[in-house]
A and B are shown apart, each in its own frame.
Chain A
Amino acid sequence: MAAELGHFALILAFCLALPQAFFGLAGAATRRTHWMAATQRAAAGQFVFVAISFGCLAYAFYQNDFSVLYVVQNSNSGLPTFYRFAAVWGAHEGSLLLWLLVQAIWTLAVAGLSRSLPVQMTSRVLGVLGLISAGFALFILTTSNPFERSWPAAADGRDLNPLLQDPALAMHPPMLYTGYVGMSVPFAFAVAAMLEGKLDSMWARWVRPWTNIAWMFLTLGIALGSWWAYYELGWGGWWFWDPVENASFMPWLIGTALIHSLAVTEKRGLFKSWTLLLAIAAFSLSLLGTFLVRSGVIESVHAFASDPARGLFILVFLGLCVGGALTLYAWRAPHFRSNAGFAPISRESFLLLNNVLLVAACGLILLGTLYPMILDLLQLGRISVGPPYFATTFLIPMLPLVLLLSPGQHAEWKRASFGRTKRLLAVLAAAALLIALGLSLAVYGWHSALTAIGLAIALWVILSSLIEPVQRWRKGHSLSAAVLGMSLAHFGLGLFIIGATVVESYGEETDLSLAPGQSAEVAGFTFTLNSLSNVSGPNYEAVEAEVAITREGKPVATVHPQKRVYRVQRNPMTEAGIEGGWNRDLFVAMGEPLGEGSWSFRLQYKPMVRFIWLGAFVVALGGLIAACDRRYRQRVPAREMSPAPASASTV
């Protein structure tokens, strides 16, 4: 019964998305107030029905309703309750319903929090969001219905993929989707502005908080995925340049560029067409990512079961959304040119370079990901493009970008003179270089010039991002959320770079066989296998090893890696034993039994690896704080805002 209710609710949601779109766009075009009001109600109704639909699917999982095909494919009576809920988005159909739910929540938020915006703008935005929701709802209803029945009802389910039975990975799709879907908000604002024929700095002020929050979720979603891969996949890697990972990274890069471009548009009324293009691109890349994962066009470890029919639908949808937006762009953008300028050395030019480099990086990743497919289509053979390519080429735009960050965040608007900050920056650069050399030579040992350079730049970013907050605090000035957020985000980036540089340069690993009682040494730590035992979990059996870690005779920790076999799906899974610390992780993963009581093990020393995710978290926090700046919450109606002249040290 719940499945039919859920299906019906989904149909109703689709039916409400259509009037939401129609009344929003037509109401704004014809200036009919009651139509525009209807949009808000349609949006609220759509949310209610999508929530009911999602709730029904979740209920089917909770009740172990094995007459629903999707539940059979993704759950099992032995599955713990938390994972039964997470299984709702464990495969293609359910994950799309999650996407739709997240879209409805964002739509509701925009509807509710836009009281101080002109009602025409809001209506148009909601109208565009309605079109997107309608598209996804139609996609689910026609090609990917999670409510299909399986008759006769199966006795039990095929269980959730054991890889997904993990708290971090359970949260990864909701976070990521909140980010992807959130990018539809600046997209909708961009389309609304183009339809209206008006794009000004006030528009940028409205869009910035939405973009920041969406970008924050995307950052967290990507970081969660990376962290999960690190501790779950057993090999200690944290980024694999897999096509699906790239598909999430590209909108993040463009989102970052968008945030910075919006800053310029808000402050100076410049870069309008760039901002528009970036807003369109960010959401386009989100949709493109969805397409790549589900269509089978690209081979990946992450891909959902590929289905060209579904792929075609998404492609058509992508073509209409993005094609429509870009056509509007070709038509309207020429009208949005500003006549103001800036000096060659100014915050604007730094931000322009920043965006150019970010777009270049995104373009590189896109090219590398699609190149094998393109060559194959042109009958030029089949090649692979993998981590060795991406790791090398990604640094080429990134190094200059991070180098420019430190002076860039202190450059004044219109004409940068830097003043006394110039000297301070130089001093900090020297300090960063010294510390980096110190770390390289004294602490970890020399690895390469690139390592030292990476450390030096990261340290410079960290130190220089503290300049403004510290100066303001010492002078007793207030610190606006925007400035604090910016400094924190850049600080976090520095932390991330330190973590990535150190772990890639100085990490060590060893593969070997151990029998109980035997030891091995890695990076000064001694790993001793104490014992092996059999344990039982709720839906798996495992062999557990107890490994004691000591350093120079003193005990450091004991870890318990496991090799699990899930009863239903029978895939062996490695649960690594990790001893985590702020400055290093010690990582023990079990391989296979080798006979006579011994097993193969991989032992790893991972210095500073936690800084990778700590840095990402701080970056996300910075984005959140910046979005909370007071000026975004002013309840003054748009008309009454009088633009003030740009000044030096604001964002």
Chain B
Amino acid sequence: MWRYLLPIVLFAILIGFFVAGLRRDKETLPSPLIGKPAPEFTLPRVEDPSKQISNAEFAGRPYVVNVWATWCVGCRQEHDALLEIARRGEVPLIGLNWKDDLALAQQWLAQLGDPYVASAFDQEGNVAIDWGVWGAPETFLVGADGTILYRHISPITLEIWEREFVPRIRQGRARE
């Protein structure tokens, strides 16, 4: 009478899914932009709003875009790691200051140090939408050919930098 076994079999499959479900990492939502050309933006600079910064200036070499804001607790956590990454100088860091207050942002960089080559002031949030940003901090790696290679959500650490970003940068360089 196989039909009496059906409930327990179905249940076992369900439990199997749940056991696997407990282990899965829900944080890493892969960006649909990976492998696609990075959207171009031109925005005022945080340091000096009368000047502009555009990521087109960095075409032809890899760079990193880091989404940050003064209201973001995780950004404060990752700031020291960013300073160290900037110090190592492998690739330029561009900041995307998201939905922030200009004066507070300038104060933040002045007080805590500025790891960025320049920070773009995205007050409207339109650039962030184009990049598919849904929280801060987020860090994008753009390759020399202008495509987005990787996105990391949540505060970046040196360990993550070395594990995920550096190999991809080196790989890109080897291909050139």
Q: Which residue of B lies closest to A377 (CB)?
A: B20
- Choose among A291, A326, A327 the residue with the greatest number of B CB atoms under 10 Å from its CB: A326
The verdict on B134 contacting chain A, using a C-beta distance below 8 Å, is no
B132 to chain A minimum Cβ distance, whole angstroms, is 13
Which residue of chain B has its CB nearest to the CB of A292?
B18
Q: Does residue A553 face the partner (Cβ distance < 8 Å to B)?
A: no
Assembly CA distance A346 to B26 (angstroms): 50
A: interface residue count bin: 20 to 34
Closest to B19 in A: A315
In Å, the complex CA distance between A299 and B21 comes to 12
A291–B14 Cα distance when bound, in Å, is: 13
Question: In the complex, which residues 1-25 of chain B have their Cβ closer than 8 Å to any Cβ of chain A?
Answer: 1, 4-5, 7-8, 11-12, 15, 17-24
Residues of B contacting A296 in the complex (Cβ-Cβ under 8 angstroms): 22, 26
Contacts of A291 in B (CB 8 A): 18
Closest to A306 in B: B26
A15, B22: Cα distance in complex, Å: 30
CB-based contact A326/B26 at 8 Å: no
Cβ contact within 8 Å between A308 and B15: no
Verify if B29 is at the interface (C-beta below 8 Å from A).
yes
Kindly list chain A residues whose C-beta atoms are within 8 Å of the C-beta of B22.
Answer: 295-297, 308, 311-312, 315
Q: How far is the CA of A302 from the CA of B20 in the complex (A)?
A: 22
Encoded as 1 (CB less than 8 Å from any B CB) or 0, chain A from 300 to 324 comes to: 0000000010011001001100110
Interface residues on B, range: 10 to 19
Contact status A373-B8, CB under 8 Å: no
Residues of A within 8 A of B8 (CB): 323, 326-327, 329-330
CA distance A284 to B29 in the complex (A): 31
Q: Within 8 Å of chain B (Cβ to Cβ): is A374?
A: yes
B residues within 8 A CB of A69? none
Whether the Cβ atoms of A322 and B11 lie closer than 8 Å is: yes
Taking CB atoms, residues of chain B closer than 8 Å to A110 are none
Question: CA–CA, A376 to B7, complex, Å?
Answer: 24
List chain B residues, Cβ under 8 A from A370: 17
Indicate if the CB atoms of A326 and B11 lie closer than 8 Å.
yes
A366 to B78, CA, bound (A): 40
Bound: A277/B8 CA distance, A: 11
Which chain A residues border B18 with CB–CB below 8 Å? 291, 295, 297, 315
A377 contacts B17, CB within 8 Å? yes
Q: Does A220 contact B (CB under 8 A)?
A: no
Q: Does A273 contact B (CB under 8 A)?
A: yes
Residue A382, interface by CB 8 Å: yes
Q: CB-CB < 8 A to A299: which residues of B?
A: 26
Interface: A334 (CB within 8 A): yes
Q: Are B21 and A373 in contact (CB under 8 A)?
A: yes
Specify which chain B residues have a CB less than 8 angstroms from the CB of A330 in the assembled complex: 4-5, 7-8
Contact call A334/B4, Cβ cutoff below 8 A = yes
| Assembly CA distance A382 to B8 (angstroms) | 28
Q: How far is the CA of A319 from the CA of B13 in the complex (A)?
A: 11
**A to B contact number (C-beta, < 8 Å):** 55
> Is the beta-carbon distance between A326 and B7 smaller than 8 angstroms?
yes
**Which A residues are in CB contact (< 8 Å) with B19?**
312, 315
B12 nearest CB neighbor, chain A only: A323
CB distance from A322 to the nearest CB of B (A): 6
Contact A319 B15 (CB under 8 A): yes
Shortest CB-to-CB span from A275 to chain B, Å, is 13
CA separation between A319 and B1, bound complex, in Å? 23
- On chain A, the residues within 8 Å of B20 by CB distance are 377
Q: Are B17 and A374 in contact (CB under 8 A)?
A: yes
Q: Does A333 contact B (CB under 8 A)?
A: yes
Contact A277 B17 (CB under 8 A): no
| A566 to B24 CA separation, bound complex (whole angstroms) | 36
What chain A residues lie within 8 Å of B24 (beta carbons)? 373, 376-377
Q: A273 to B6, alpha carbons, bound, how many Å?
A: 13
Distance from A563 Cβ to chain B, minimum over Cβ atoms (Å): 21
Among A261-307, those with CB < 8 Å from B are 273, 277, 280, 284, 291, 295-297, 299
- Name the distance in Å between A294's Cβ and chain B's nearest Cβ: 11
Give the distance in Å from the alpha carbon of A295 to the alpha carbon of B20 in the complex. 12
Cα separation A280 to B7 with both chains bound (whole Å): 10
> Closest CB-CB distance, A432 to chain B, in whole Å?
39
CA distance A326 to B8 in the complex (A): 5
Q: Choose among B1, B15, B21, B24 the residue with the greatest number of A CB atoms under 10 Å from its CB.
A: B21
Q: How far is the CA of A327 from the CA of B4 in the complex (A)?
A: 9
In angstroms, Cα B23 to Cα A330, docked, is 30
Query: How far, in whole Å, are A376 and B18 apart by their CA atoms in the complex?
Result: 12
Q: What CA separation (Å) do A295 and B21 show in the bound complex?
A: 10
Least distance between B31 CB and chain A CB atoms (Å): 11
In whole angstroms, how far apart are the Cα atoms of A311 and B20 in the complex? 12
Shortest distance between the CB of B69 and any CB in chain A (Å) = 19
Q: How far is the CB of A360 from chain B (nearest CB, A)?
A: 15
Is A273 touching B4 in the complex (CB atoms < 8 A)? yes
- In the complex, are the beta carbons of A315 and B7 less than 8 A apart? no
A329 CA / B3 CA spacing, docked (Å): 11
Q: A322-B11, A323-B11, A334-B4 are in contact. Are A382 and B21 (CB under 8 A)?
A: no
Q: Sort A-B residue pairs by CB-CB distance and give the 8 closest, nearest first.
A: A326-B8, A297-B21, A330-B4, A308-B22, A334-B1, A326-B7, A377-B20, A330-B5
Assuming A315-B22, A323-B11, what are 8 further A-B pairs, CB within 8 angstroms?
A273-B4, A297-B18, A297-B21, A299-B26, A315-B15, A330-B5, A373-B24, A377-B21
**A-B contacts, 8 listed (Cβ < 8 Å):** A295-B18, A296-B22, A312-B22, A318-B15, A323-B8, A326-B7, A329-B4, A334-B4
